[in-house]
Structure 1
Amino acid sequence: MSGGEVAGLLVAVFWAILVSFLSVALVRLAQTLRAATKLVTGVTEHAVPLLGEASQTVRSAQAQLDRVETIASDVQDVAANASALSTTVASTFGGPLVKVAAFGYGVRRALRRRGAPPPPVVGRTLPAARRRPTGKD
């Protein structure tokens, strides 16, 4: 065997080893791609119904929110009407009631003063003509 034949034999062996490594890598890559395809298919089979259910849930929630918005606007109208009614009642009956209460207070106070002695005056001196004799003068 000559040097060229040995070199050719070595190159052929290296090519055989390289091809076997590449074929093993390609087989494993094909297995990985099959597994990934199965995974994506499984996820798709489970995700599509979940997305449908989520879409129905969102539609239902939107319908409920629309109802709540309607109720809130009705409550706001009722509150505005109650406020207007309260203002009307206060303006209609408030003034006369205050006058009646003030009159009643004045009558009670006058009746209390009528039967009671006058309250003592503290800290104020009366003119000499209105002073009462105390016995010390």
Structure 2
Amino acid sequence: MSLGDIAGMIAALAFAFLVFRLGAVIGKAGKILDETRVSLRTTTDNVQPTLTKLTDTVSLTNDQLAKVDGITTNVGAMTTNASALTSLFAATLGSPVVKVAAFTYGVRTALAGGGARSAGGRRRRRG
């Protein structure tokens, strides 16, 4: 064997070792990709029902908000109606009731003798 044959043999062994190591690295990368694919599939299978339930929940929430909006609109209408009724009551009965109350007070005062008193009827205090 010559020196060139020995160098060729060493180069061939180095190349074979390099191919072997590269194959091992590629094999590990393949396993990592397989595990990643399985993990992604599991995650997708678990997330899809959650997203479906979330969509249902959002739909039900929107329905409830629509009902609350209707209730709020009705309460606003009731408030407006109550305010109008109060104004109508005050305009219709408020003024006559005040006049009747003032008249009855005047009649009671007149009958009780609490009419206009003369200045002489009062006693002066001495200081």
Q: Which residue of 2 aligns with 1:118?
A: 122
CA RMSD of aligned residues (A): 2.8
Residue 32, structure 1, aligned to residue 32, structure 2: yes
Identity of aligned residues (%): 34
Structure 2 matches for 1:123-134, cutoff 5 A? none
TM-score computed with the length of structure 1 as normaliser:
0.73
Amino acid at match of 2:122: P
Q: Which residue of 2 aligns with 1:92?
A: 92
Give the Cα–Cα distance (whole angstroms) in 2 for the partners of residues 101 and 107 of structure 1: 10
Q: Which has the higher contact order (CA 8 A, sep 6+)?
A: 2
| 1:26, distance to aligned residue in structure 2 (A) | 0.9
Give the Cα–Cα distance (whole angstroms) in 2 for the partners of residues 101 and 37 of structure 1: 90
Structure 2 matches for 1:7-86, cutoff 5 A? 7-86=7-86
Give the Cα–Cα distance (whole angstroms) in 2 for the partners of residues 119 and 6 of structure 1: 148
TM-score computed with the length of structure 2 as normaliser:
0.78
Give the Cα–Cα distance (whole angstroms) in 2 for the partners of residues 115 and 22 of structure 1: 124
Instruction: Render the CA deviation track for 1:18-47: whole Å, top value 9, x for unaligned.
Output: 112111111111111111111111111111
**Paired residues, number:** 122
Amino acid at match of 1:19: V
Give the Cα–Cα distance (whole angstroms) in 2 for the partners of residues 55 and 37 of structure 1: 26
| 1:64, distance to aligned residue in structure 2 (A) | 1.2
Q: Which residue of 2 aligns with 1:127?
A: none
Amino acid at match of 2:45: E
